Chains A and B, each alone.
Chain A
Amino acid sequence: ILNVEQSPQSLHVQEGDSTNFTCSFPSSNFYALHWYRWETAKSPEALFVMTLNGDEKKKGRISATLNTKEGYSYLYIKGSQPEDSATYLCALILTGGGNKLTFGTGTQLKVEL
C-alpha cells in the first residue's frame, strides 16, 4: 500500500497570515507530484505538477517546493484570504505506475476574517 500523508489534517488561520502544509511520500520510484485545491461544492482544481527534485512552482500567492530525495513537498500560502479556504490535496505518481495518482487525505484550510 502506497502511503501519501498530509499534515496537518486541518488548519485555521487568520486573514493575512501565511501558512504552509506538508505532503510526505515514499522517496523511491518517484515520477511526479500533483497539488490540487478542492473548494466545497466545486471541482478539485490542479495547482501544480512537480517532477524534479528541488522544483519550486508559484501561482499568485501560492507556491510549492519538492524534495524527492527525502520524500516531501511543501505548499505555502502567503497572506491567506478567505477565498483560500479549501481542502488541499497532494497526489503521487510512481514510475511504472501507469500515471495512476495516489492521493493523500488532504489538508482542510479555513481562513477567518
Chain B
Amino acid sequence: SAVISQKPSRDICQRGTSLTIQCQVDSQVTMMFWYRQQPGQSLTLIATANQGSEATYESGFVIDKFPISRPNLTFSTLTVSNMSPEDSSIYLCSVRSNTGELFFGEGSRLTVL
C-alpha cells in the first residue's frame, strides 16, 4: 500500500486566483494521477504526472489551466489557475499499486466564490 498526503485539505478561494495543491507519497512511484470530482459528477482524470517529463492531459483539460509539476518520484503539485466557481471540486491525487488498484490521497476540497 501507499500513504498519500495532500494539502490543503480544503480551501475557499476568490474567483480569478490560483491555488496549488501538493501531493506527497511515502514511496517512489513512476506515475501520479490527478483526479477531480465536481459536485454530482463522477471522479474524472485530469492528467498523469510523470517524473522528468511533461504531464499527459486528458481531453478537456489543458496545461495552462492545470499546470502540474513532478520534481521527483515522491511529490507532485497541481495548480488550478484563474479559478471560477465551476472549479469548485474535490481534487485527488493517486498512485497505482502493483496489482492495479489506485491509492488516493484524502482530497483537497476547493470552493471558489
Contacts and interface: CB of A to CB of B under 8 A. Distances in A.
A23 to B, nearest CB: 12
Contacts, number: 45
A42 interface: yes
A100 interface: yes
Contacts of A104: 42
Contacts of B99: 49
Contacts of A100: 45
Interface residues of A, number: 22
A19 B45 CA distance: 30
A43 B43 contact: no
B61 to A, nearest CB: 13
Interface in B98-113: 99-107
Can you list the 9 inter-chain pairs with the closest CB atoms, starting with the nearest?
A: A46-B101, A103-B43, A43-B104, A103-B42, A105-B42, A44-B104, A43-B106, A49-B101, A49-B100
